[in-house]
Structure 1
C-alpha cells in the first residue's frame, strides 16, 4: 500500500499522524478484503481549503470535516470482483497498485469535532480516515440502512484497531 500525504496547512496533532494514517488505511484495506495493492492520497488542509473544494465539487458552500473522491465505481459496495478487467487504467504502471482515490481532511475540524464529541483528536482523525476509506470502497450513507451498515463497519474497524472514544 502506498500513501501520499500532502499538508496544505500546519498539522499540530500530538500523535504520529502519518504513521496512524498508514496504519488505519492499511488495516481498513485488509478488513474489507480488498484484493489489490492500493494507492491512496491524503490531503490535510484547513477549513478554507476544504470549503473551497466542497463548493467546487459538491456545490456546498461551507467547510466540512472530510471529503472522499473515489477513483473506482462498484456495482455493489465492497464487491471488488471484476475490478482488474474494468479498471486497467486505474492501475499505476510504475507500481502495479490500483489507485483507490483521495481523502481530504480539515485539521481544524478534527480538533473541533474531537472536542464536541468528547474524544481525542487521534480518535477523530482515525474515524474520518476509516469513514473516507469506506467511501473509497463504494459504501455510502444516503439511506438509513446504508448509514447503519456503514456506521457498524466504522465501529468494528476502530474497535479492532483499539482506537476508542
Structure 2
C-alpha cells in the first residue's frame, strides 16, 4: 500500500495521521480481500478549501467533512475480479499498484465533529478515512440498504483496529 499524504493546513492532531490512515486503509483492503497492492492520495485541508473543491467538483456550495474521488468504477462494490480483464487503466504503469483515487479530509470538520459527537479526533479521522476508502472501492450510501452495509463495514473496521468512541 502506498499512501501519498499532502497536508495543506496545520493540524494539531495528537496522533500520526499518516500512520493511522495507512492502518485504516490496509484494514479496509484486507477486509475486502483486495488482491493487489494499492495507492491512495490523501489530502488534509481546511473547511474553506474543501468548500471550494466541493463547489468545483460537485456543484455543492458548502464545506463538508470528506470527499472521495475514485479512479475506478466498481460494478460490484468490493469485487476486484473485473480488473483482470477490464481494469488495466486502473493500475499505475510504473509501480503496478491499483490506483484507487483521492481522499480529501477537512481538518476543521474532524475537530468540530469529534467535539460534537463526543469522541476523539483519532476516532473521527479514522472513521472518515474508512468511509472514504469504502467509496473508493465502490460502496455508497444513497439507499437505506446501501447505507446499512457501509455503516456496518465502517464499524467493523474501527472495532478491528480498537478505535472506538470514547
TM-score range, shorter chain: over 0.9
Equivalent residues in 2 for 1:1-165 (5 A)? 1-165=1-165
| Cα offsets for 1:87-122 (capped at 9, x unmatched) | 212211211101000000000100000000010000
In 2, Cα distance between equivalents of 1:151 and 1:102: 21
In 2, Cα distance between equivalents of 1:121 and 1:84: 38
In 2, Cα distance between equivalents of 1:7 and 1:85: 36
Question: What value does the CA root-mean-square deviation take over the aligned residues?
Answer: 0.8
In 1, Cα distance between equivalents of 2:68 and 2:80: 18
What is the number of residues matched between the two proteins? 165
In 2, Cα distance between equivalents of 1:118 and 1:129: 18
In 2, Cα distance between equivalents of 1:94 and 1:76: 27
In 2, Cα distance between equivalents of 1:90 and 1:132: 18
SS in 1 for 2:30: helix
Q: What stretches of structure 1 move > 4 A for 4+ residues in a row? A: none
State the TM-score, normalized to the length of structure 2. Answer: 0.97
- 1:18: Cα distance to partner? 1.2
SS in 2 for 1:141: coil
**Gap regions ≥5 residues in structure 2:** none
State the TM-score, normalized to the length of structure 1. Answer: 0.98
In 2, Cα distance between equivalents of 1:103 and 1:46: 13
